[in-house]
């Protein structure tokens, strides 16, 4: 089974000139979803993971499934002012400015072995910001894990100090 067959291209979404990779058909098919989870977890054979960090918002889908499969805690990383407890933040650059992400200050304990998951590795800004948050709290990044990598955007360069895995590369 090729999981890429369950990802559809949407032209000009969310704005003209963008080719959006829609994962909802993958999420909707239980067999394809299980296959995708298997591919993502196979990349972690022999690794102990204490926490899975999922980046808002599409990183939550497989992030939670990975946490369940790996018997690990799940940590949501969100846009500013979306988390109810004390947070730390990290900023990252967008093509048109800056944005930031936040994580609860008590989410990771020093020495926790952390898997970072998001749906797509594009320019790498989000992933780099999440790595900064994890390391600020003393976590050890075991892998940056993605459903898809858009390799032509060179996002891997921004997180080159960490092991990176993508189930699909475009």
pTM for the structure as a whole = 0.95
**Beta carbons of 121 and 155 less than 8 angstroms apart:** yes
Facing residues of 168 across strands?
Answer: 148
81 φψ region: left (φ > 0), alpha (ψ -120 to 50), beta (else): left
In this prediction, what percent of the chain has a pLDDT beyond 90?
A: 94
Q: What does the pLDDT read at residue 150? A: 96
30 confidence band (pLDDT: 50, 70, 90): very high
**Beta carbons of 69 and 41 less than 8 angstroms apart:** yes
- Tens digit of pLDDT for each residue in 62-113? 999 999 999 999 999 999 999 999 999 999 987 667 899 999 999 999 999 9
Q: What does the pLDDT read at residue 98? A: 87
Active-site residue, selected from the candidate residues 56, 58, 149, 156: 58
Angstrom distances, CA of residue 99 to CA of 2, 77, 89, 127: 34, 13, 10, 13
In this structure, the number of other CB atoms found within 10 A of the CB of residue 156 comes to 18
Active-site residue, selected from the candidate residues 33, 78, 93, 95: 95
Q: What does the pLDDT read at residue 3? A: 97
Sketch out the chain's domains with CATH numbers: 46-169 (3.40.50.2020)
Task: Tell me: pLDDT of 59 over 70.
Answer: yes
**Beta carbons of 75 and 108 less than 8 angstroms apart:** yes
Angle CA 62–64–68, to nearest 5:
110
Averaged pLDDT, 117-122: 96
Distance, CA of 125 to CA of 137 (rounded, Å): 19
Q: Is residue 69 annotated as part of the catalytic site, yes or no?
A: no
* 136 compared with 98, residue with greater pLDDT: 136
Task: Tell me: pLDDT of 16 over 80.
Answer: yes
| Average model confidence (pLDDT) across the chain | 96
Residue 22 DSSP symbol: E
Q: What does the pLDDT read at residue 95? A: 64
């Amino acid at each position: 089974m090729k999981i890429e067959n369950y990802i559809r291209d949407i032209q000009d979404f969310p704005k003209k000139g963008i080719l959006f990779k829609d994962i909802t058909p993958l999420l909707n098919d239980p067999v394809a979803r299980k296959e995708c989870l298997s591919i993502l977890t196979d990349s972690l054979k022999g690794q102990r993971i204490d926490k899975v960090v999922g980046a808002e918002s599409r990183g939550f889908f497989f992030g939670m499934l990975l946490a369940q499969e790996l018997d690990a805690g799940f940590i949501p990383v969100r846009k500013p002012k979306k988390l109810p407890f004390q947070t730390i933040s990290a900023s990252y650059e967008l093509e048109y400015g800056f944005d930031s992400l936040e994580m609860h200050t008590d989410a990771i304990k020093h020495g926790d072995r952390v898997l970072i998951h998001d749906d797509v590795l594009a320019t790498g800004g989000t992933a780099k910001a999440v790595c900064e948050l994890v390391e600020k709290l003393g976590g050890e990044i075991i892998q940056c894990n993605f459903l898809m990598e858009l390799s032509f955007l060179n996002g891997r360069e921004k997180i080159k100090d960490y092991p990176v895995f993508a189930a699909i590369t475009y």
